[in-house]
């Protein structure tokens, strides 16, 4: 008997959030799908301003999947939000593998010839 392991979704990544939205607005929206455990709204480190993205954690996997399916494309205040499963650090690191770019050789151009003098 094979051991089937389902990928459990830990967090929900929400982007394209209106800058006027509050944590309470997100809580109200996601509570339609179940119990919201936590909301982390991401702020810029230097300016401290909201970046328009957040991470939402639901109480269980079924509620998380329902929130993703139900709320993706929903209008919140003045923008349609994008809702998807948050990627783990391992997934982000594997996606960020940098491929080496071959060195490009440039040909040296000769200086343009001036007008020929007519004798």
pLDDT, position 66: 94
pLDDT, position 117: 60
Question: What are the average pLDDT values for consecutive 10-residue runs of the chain, which has 119 residues?
Answer: 53 94 95 95 92 94 94 94 88 65 61 63
Phi-psi region of 24 (alpha: psi -120 to 50; beta: other; left: phi over 0): alpha
pLDDT, position 4: 42
Fold of 12-88: Alpha-Beta Plaits (3.30.70)
pLDDT, position 5: 41
CB neighbour class for 96 (10 Å; exposed up to 12, middle 13-18, buried from 19) = exposed
pLDDT, position 96: 66
Whether the full predicted model's pTM is greater than 0.75, yes or no, is no
């Amino acid at each position: 008997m094979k051991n089937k392991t389902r990928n459990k979704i830990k967090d929900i990544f929400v982007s394209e959030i209106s800058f006027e939205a509050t944590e309470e607005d997100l809580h109200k929206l996601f509570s339609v799908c179940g119990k919201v455990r936590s909301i982390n709204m991401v702020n810029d480190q230097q300016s401290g301003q909201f970046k328009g993205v957040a991470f939402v954690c639901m109480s269980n996997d079924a509620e998380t999947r329902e929130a993703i399916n139900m709320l993706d494309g929903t209008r919140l205040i003045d923008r349609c939000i994008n809702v998807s499963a948050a990627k783990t650090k391992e997934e982000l690191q594997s996606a960020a593998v940098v491929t080496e770019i071959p060195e490009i050789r440039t040909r040296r151009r000769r200086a343009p010839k001036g007008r020929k003098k007519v004798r």
